[in-house]
Amino acid sequence: MMLDHTHDAHLRSWVKGADDHPEFPIQNLPLCSFSDASCVRRGGVAIGDYILDLQALAEAGLVDREDLPIVATAAQPKLNDFFALASAQRRQLRSVLSGLLTAGHPAKHQAERLLVPMDQATLHLPADVPDYTDFFAGIHHAMTAGRMFRPDNPLLPNYKHVPIAYHGRSSSVRASGHPVVHPVGQRAVHGGTTPDYGPSRRLDYELEIAIWISGGNQLGEPIPIDRAAEQIVGFGLLNDWSARDVQAWETQPLGPFLGKNFLTTVSPFVVTSEALAPFRCAQPARAEGDPRPLPYLLDEEDQANGALDMTIEVLLLTPAMREHGRPPVVLARSSGLDLYWTPAQMVAHHSSNGCDLRAGDLFGTGTVSGPGPEGHGSLLEMTSAGKNPVTLPSGETRTFLEDGDEVILRGWCEREGYARIGFGEARGTVLAPLSKELLA
């Protein structure tokens, strides 16, 4: 990814509050789909505490004729068509918007009318999700979880050779804020071979990074590793909610099913690959003795600049904390550098057998956990599968989530010499099960 004038830390905007905004300064410009009091859904761009209405911008006569088709494409209610554009066209939109929003632009007073206050907007899922794939690229999560089942051999032999993943359910992907109806299902009974049925007793979150895909390869046409990064439109936050007891019972022999497909929460903002150029860095070196990736997964440029230096964290707000006005508590914090595989390697592997990727496809990285307890990206790890409850500052304890709990994911990138940019939030509050008649 190339650095240009849009990344200049000294760049200033005429939008009130945008300069040095902790998440959405002019150096970020993440895309979204939103509606306001008019109930008309359209594309937008976050800037400070506002959303620039791209539909209104396309109609306002403030964009040069050659740039208008790209702005109009990004202004659509869903961003799939924009995702499908070439990376050069996506960069062009960023340049146009950065110029318009820069301090001193002569169209400031006309453009001010195109801003919608964030607190007056409803944010939607950025795009239709044709397919959703969840990877298992967080090696520290894989190691910690693996030790619970295979203490002497936590990683299966394939882990360091291939980016492991499962295909999830795209129909249940929702934007931040959608409630988490407590899932019910067949639950594993410890030490037994006969399940019971009811609400999950081991409802969990997974702290993940979302990857939005451009797609466009034909069926049977792999995407080479040296072009895979071009297929990534942007990033966000993702919570792969998991009913661990349901998952444990059903996952053999074919993998996750009802234990995971009841809901996947994503943040509503797509922080573009272009915005993240200052925060790309070398993929951490593999441990001594680890295998070298096979040639179709190995590109020297990707190894040198394909990792993302992104901090992510998970917070919890319980009903009691909410009632007493307490803030949510940070449970864990980790980094995009804790991933064993780069995003480009995930794209290359996903298409290596000829699988065709489509605009709006969503990847989850898998749980991003750090090497120590402060970085555990799930309660499964944090509580050693429920054996060691977490004590919260409120005095409450948790082994797994309870009804009324709200889980909040946050993320940001910062580096000396560049403006800090954020990813918004991915929130979800657990509600009591709806299928009470099935539990009678």
Three-state SS string over the chain comes to CCCCHHHCCCCCECCCCCCCCCCCCCCCCCEEEEECCCCCCEEEEEECCEEEEHHHHHHCCCCCCCCHHHHHHHCCCCCHHHHCCCHHHHHHHHHHHHHHHECCCCCHHHHHCCEEEHHHCEEECCCCCCCEEEECCEHHHHHHHHHHHCCCCCCCCCCCCCCCEEECCHHHEEECCCCEECCEEEECCCCCCCCEEEECCCEECCEEEEEEECCCCCCCCCCCHHHHHHHEEEEEEEECCEEHHHHHHHCCCCCCCCCCCCCEEECCCEEECCCCHHHEECCCCCCCCCCCCCHHHCCHHHHHHCEECCEEEEEEECHHHHHCCCCCEEEEEEEHHHECCCHHHHHHHHHCCCCCCCCCCEEECCCCCCCCHHHCCCHHHHCCCCCCCEECCCCCEECCCCCCCEEEEEEEECCCCCCCEEEEEEEEEEECCCCHHHHC
Through-space distance between the first and last CA atoms of the chain, rounded to whole angstroms: 57
Reference 361, options 76, 82, 130; nearest CA is 130
Q: Which two tokens stand for residue 278?
A: 């200052």
Return d(Cα 400, Cα 45) in angstroms, integer: 36
Q: How far are the Cα atoms of 22, 63, 80, 338, 362 from residue 34, in angstroms, in the given order? A: 21, 21, 14, 32, 19
pLDDT at 2: 85
pLDDT at 112: 97
- What structural domains does the chain harbor? 5-124 (2.30.30.230), 132-439 (3.90.850.10)
Return d(Cα 355, Cα 295) in angstroms, integer: 19
Sign of the alpha-carbon dihedral angle for 37, 38, 40, 42: negative
Instruction: Respond yes or no: is residue 190 known to be catalytic.
Output: no
Per the CB < 8 A criterion, the answer to whether 424 and 176 are in contact is yes
Reported pTM: 0.97
Return d(Cα 25, Cα 19) in angstroms, integer: 6
Reference 181, options 202, 201, 199; nearest CA is 199
| Cross-strand pairs, 138 | 339
Active-site hit among 21, 141, 182, 349: 141
Predicted confidence pLDDT, tens digits, the chain (440 residues): 689 999 999 999 999 999 999 999 999 999 999 999 999 999 999 999 999 999 999 999 999 999 999 999 999 999 999 999 999 999 999 999 999 999 999 999 999 999 999 999 999 999 999 999 999 999 999 999 999 888 888 999 999 999 999 999 999 999 999 999 999 999 977 767 889 999 999 999 999 999 999 998 999 999 999 999 999 999 999 999 999 999 999 988 888 999 999 999 999 999 999 999 999 999 999 999 999 999 999 999 999 999 999 999 999 999 999 999 999 999 999 999 999 999 999 999 999 999 999 999 999 999 999 999 999 999 999 999 999 999 999 999 999 999 999 999 999 999 999 999 999 999 999 999 986 655 55
Half-sphere exposure of 379 (CA within 13 A, CB side): 28
Reference 202, options 182, 226, 231, 173; nearest CA is 182
